[in-house]
Structure 1
């Protein structure tokens, strides 16, 4: 977490959390969701505006993590901005050399390879569960063919409970309120 964020948290410890305003799609792209977008439906049916500002995206990446309940958020200064997930909290990019990196730029190692009924490939890692980016599925297939990974079949709808993440903190917050 950035030092400036830690300082803001110390200075303003009681800023209310924000729900529904930020979404992460299955390709690791961030979307801002204003009131009108949120009123149009849940993420990803109503995605919002694609973030393209590199420095803002880098700031989100450096300050993106999960709380104790498995809700992923971006710590924006003193405010937690909870993230709506299209698929998983992380999206993996694979390299020809076999390395795996999260959409936030963090390298990791693979503990387990998972495959759902729609053919989507997930990787369980020390950083958490993530979906393999669609552009890298061929590299995942190479890893399977080379015997580095053995896919285990899963039901996609079981992944949040099994791996402890909340796809929609906004929906959870609304039912708790």
Structure 2
């Protein structure tokens, strides 16, 4: 986490959390979700426009990625100064890029050590690592196939709906927050 972020948290400790405004898709792209996008539906709903606008500003993306973490409940967030901005996940908290030498880096360029390989009912490949669970980027599935052929990774079948509970992450903190604050 950036020092300036820690300083802001200390200076303003009671800033309310933010829900629904930031999303991470299955290709590791960040989305800003304004009121209009949120009104169209959930981030992962598939409804046109519900994802919001893809972020293109490199410095903003780098800032988000340096300050991207999870809380004790498995909700992923971006610490934006004193405010915690919870992230809507399309599939998983990480999107893995796999290099030709089978090394793995996250969408935020963090290195990771593979612990297990998973294949869901839609044919998507997931890797559990020392950083947590993530989806393999679609461009790198062939490289994973090579690792499997060489016996480096042994894919295990898994049902996608079971992954969040099994690996301790929340796909939609906004939906969870709405459910806990409803009368």
TM range (shorter): over 0.9
The answer to whether 1:14 aligns with 2:18 is: no
Query: Partners of 1:96 and 1:74 in 2: how far apart?
Result: 30
Runs of 4 or more above 4 Å deviation: none
Where do 5+ consecutive residues of structure 1 fail to align? none
Query: Partners of 1:4 and 1:164 in 2: how far apart?
Result: 29
- Per the alignment, residue 129 of structure 1 pairs with 133
Q: Secondary structure at the match of 1:5?
A: helix
- Per the alignment, residue 27 of structure 2 pairs with 27
1:97 offset after TM fit, Å? 1.2
- Per the alignment, residue 38 of structure 2 pairs with 38
Query: Partners of 1:40 and 1:27 in 2: how far apart?
Result: 21
Q: TM-score, normalised by structure 1?
A: 0.99
Q: Secondary structure at the match of 1:13?
A: coil
Kindly report which structure 2 residues correspond to 1:101-116, keeping only aligned pairs within 5 A, or say none: 101-116=105-120
- Per the alignment, residue 4 of structure 2 pairs with 4
The answer to whether 1:76 aligns with 2:70 is: no
Aligned length: 177
Q: TM-score, normalised by structure 2?
A: 0.96
Where do 5+ consecutive residues of structure 2 fail to align? none
Query: Partners of 1:80 and 1:140 in 2: how far apart?
Result: 34
1:121 offset after TM fit, Å? 0.3
